[in-house]
Amino acid sequence: MKKSFHFLWVSQLLANLGDVFYIVGLISILYQVSESPFYLALLPFLNMAGRMITSSLAPLLVNRYPLKQLLVISQALKTILLSILAVGLYYTLSLIFILIIIFVVALLDGLAQPASNALVPRILEKSQLLRANGILSMINESTQLGGWALGGILVANTNGNTVIWITLILFVLSTLFILFVIDPTPFERKINVAKKQELTEGFNLIWDNHSFRTIHVMIVFESIANVVWVAAIMYLFVADVLHASEAWWGYINTTFFIGLVIGGFICTKFEQVFEKNLKKIVLVSSFAAAIVMLLFGLNQVAILALILSLFFGVLDQFKGILLGTWLQLKATDEQLIKVYSAQGVLTSLLFGLSTLLAGTLANIYSVQWLFIGAGLLLLLSAIYFSLGQKRFE
């Protein structure tokens, strides 16, 4: 693989680890400053809102500035904001100022994520994409798996301020590595397109292309279904259904991420098999994931819950990598960032609304019904793909 890809994955590794430490450090700092659960709840809300806003505006930016330039600027600005926060914590920063920094960082993340994903097919041959996506997925999930544990240990043994300084160092290194990425795609500035057309271009591309539409209908179903894995819902399931200690929520979450890592490894190891049988593997994985989710909801044995969460992680990763690779193969370099931006708006909005809905339903019905409902949604997604798979040619 090209050197640019190696620089990109190292940059992503550092940025992802920094993002985890950033959240861990902020949770500690916000609680120390406010001693209020309300402000802790604001953290995911501000992150979601910021990312959704920038994802919706991303087409305006990518028509005017080169993709790599946007990625470098967004990461550099995040680094500057973190340095302001890190230094400011030695003084008396107002809570409002901290929340503003959190929101602006989220705005920058909303641009960085689709830009980074769209850069991958620009710097690699098409035959390398499946392997590259498997590698990036393993890096991302491993970072999530180890980052939260390491971040928790760091906060427990130091404080939130120290973790923010470590985050700053990671962001500086990430920015430096991005500078060495070479994007060979020529850039053509577009300023004569109506802004309304620019903002809706990604959604129009998804709707007009049959395979893109199929993928994103599946994403809609799965974004709603996968909200059952959030901490609040899983905590209820462990306590009310499994009748296990709080530690089991962590165990289930860990096995899920291990499953994601295993799924990425298998895709990378057997890339040719997955390339030749893309539709079959997506179809089987979709139905199998729905069955596993239904079994998870009906299950009341803690050990079995661990096994099921592991299998679900593997199957979910298969689908994600294969459908993501298909999207990269079929969309042009110019289209891809706009499709990813529209996808970011969809997933952020659906996650926020679904989380609120799941929390409301959990107060009315047994939490088991949420998992059964999620399994049925995944089943609908699998059926939809089975009916539309002929579009994947």
Query: Confidence band (pLDDT; 50, 70, 90) for 50?
Result: confident
Q: How far apart are CA 188 and CA 140, in angstroms?
A: 31
Query: Confidence band (pLDDT; 50, 70, 90) for 335?
Result: confident
Q: Which of 318, 294, 296, 317 is nearest to 307 (CA)?
A: 296
pLDDT at residue 151, rounded to an integer = 82
pLDDT digits (tens, 9 = 90+) for 101-145: 889 998 888 888 888 888 888 888 888 888 888 888 888 888 887
pLDDT at residue 79, rounded to an integer = 92
- The contacts of residue 383 (CB under 8 Å, 6+ apart) are none
For the chain, what are the domain ranges? 3-180, 197-391
Cα 32 to Cα 29, 40, 49, 66: the distances in Å are 5, 11, 24, 41
Q: Which of 341, 338, 304, 343 is nearest to 320 (CA)?
A: 343
CATH superfamily of 3-180: MFS general substrate transporter like domains (1.20.1250.20)
Any idea which of 100-104, 128-132, 175-179, 249-253 has the lowest mean pLDDT? 249-253
Q: How far apart are CA 114 and CA 127, in angstroms?
A: 21
Evaluate whether 3-180 and 197-391 have a shared fold: yes
pLDDT at residue 354, rounded to an integer = 86
% of the chain exceeding 90 in pLDDT:
28
Q: Which of 12, 22, 158 is nearest to 83 (CA)?
A: 22
Residue type (1 letter), 205: L
The CATH architecture one would assign to domain 197-391 is Up-down Bundle (1.20)
Q: How many CB atoms lie within 10 A of CB 333?
A: 17
pLDDT at residue 198, rounded to an integer = 74
pLDDT at residue 319, rounded to an integer = 93
Q: What's the mean per-residue pLDDT of the chain?
A: 86
